[in-house]
Amino acid sequence: MNQEIESQTVTIEQVRRPTGTPQEIMKNVKAALVDLAKRTDETKNSKELLDYLAFSARASIRRYSLNNTWLIYIQKREATYVRGFKQWLSEGRHVRKGERGILILAPLTKTITRKVKVPKTDDKGEIVKDPLTGETLYEEKEEREQVITWFKPVYVFDISQTEGTPIAILEIVKVSEHEKATEILARLSDLAKRQGYVIKYKEMQQGHYGQASANKVITLSLSMTETQKIAVILHEYAHERLHFKDQKITHSQAETEAEAVAYVVCKVLGINLNSETYLAIHNKDTEQIIKAYERIQTVVKEILDSFEA
């Protein structure tokens, strides 16, 4: 399957209006995401990739899966607040006549029930053993699990395609760059601390801005601006959340993913980093490229959801 996807080049233009079976659409989505990563690496141009990642970080978009985020992106890049037809009705708005829906794929699930053997326990929760042999006694229990069996096409609509009751959409408050950076730094520091990090400041040699140790200590240079502190904390925090010890990826790939998280979060929060670092998903394996997208988007969602909470 990987070879089949990698051997074809599927561009945004080819899948602007998704057609075919759900399976074919899914295959084209994967191929297009892989093509985006490869094209970025070959042209040394991060803009297209960063534009997509920033789009996927929008408040109502990041609730969708990687595949559906891409489907929304290629059909309506200007989308800001997306809901289904009935969801809009429940919010007092209706889709205007003649508007074209945005196709996404909804998972169909079924519940599988199976019997499993588990250690028998008493009222106190302690494992019961055979009084003669001392062996653990087991009993059968039913275990239920929901599994995705198929996907079906459904349609959603952006708020620009609807009319009715005005709704409040969360936006970044427009304040001065310094005020914004100070507030974001405070919130980000609090998030990091709640995840077990210790943030310290000290004088560092010129050109050194920060470092993170294995025991979750992030050390920052006292000479940095508030914006630089935000970028470094995001980068180091992302490393921990992105790359678990069982992940086998290169150092350059780990740095790229952490920097992508920092860049996208800063962009969404309105923090100007003054430069666009070249970022590309270097991995050549199809499934690993998809996993890289998923890791980046998951951590971006985690950080931004904590701000909006």
- Give Dmax over CA atoms of the chain in angstroms: 77
CA–CA gap between residue 272 and residue 228 (Å, rounded):
10
| Rounded Cα distance, 293 and 286, in Å | 11
Nearest to 102 by CA among 58, 61, 149, 147: 61
Most confident of 62-76, 162-176, 220-234, 260-274: 62-76
Would the pTM count as exceeding 0.85?
no
Distance between CA atoms of residues 29 and 244, nearest Å: 27
> Nearest 5°: phi and psi at 87?
-65, -40
Nearest Cα to Cα of residue 290 among 93, 33, 32: 33
Q: Are 140 and 113 in contact (CB under 8 A)?
A: no
**169/64: higher pLDDT:** 64
Q: Which string of DSSP letters, residue by residue, matches 206-225?
A: TT--EEE-TTSEEEEETTS-
* pLDDT tens for each residue of 214-250: 677 888 888 788 888 888 888 888 887 887 555 677 8
- Summarize pLDDT for 65-99 with one digit per residue, the tens: 999 999 999 999 999 899 999 999 999 999 999 99
**For residues 57 and 264, is the Cβ–Cβ distance under 8 A?**
yes
| Tens digits of residue pLDDT in 120-150 | 888 888 888 888 888 888 888 877 776 667 8
Least confident of 39-53, 162-176, 193-207, 278-292: 162-176
Instruction: Write out the E strands in the chain.
Output: 82-84, 93-95, 102-119, 138-158, 162-164, 198-202, 210-212, 217-221
- Higher model confidence: residue 155 or residue 277? 155
Instruction: State residue 10's pLDDT score.
Output: 39
How far apart, in whole angstroms, are the C-alpha atoms of residue 174 and residue 96? 31
Distance CA 224, CA 133 (A): 67
What pLDDT was estimated at residue 24?
87
Q: Can you tell me the distance from the alpha carbon of 101 to that of 157, in angstroms, rounded to the nearest whole number? A: 6
> If we measure between CA atoms, which residue out of 16, 1, 22 comes closest to residue 70?
16
* Angle between helix 226-242 and helix 177-194 axes, rounded to 10 deg: 30
Q: Which amino acid is at 97?
A: K
Closest CA to 116 of 144, 137, 141: 141
Strands 93-95 and 162-164, how do they pair?
Answer: antiparallel
Q: Could you tell me the pLDDT band of residue 2, with boundaries at 50, 70 and 90?
A: very low
* Rg for the chain, CA atoms, rounded: 24
Q: Higher-confidence residue: 103 or 3?
A: 103
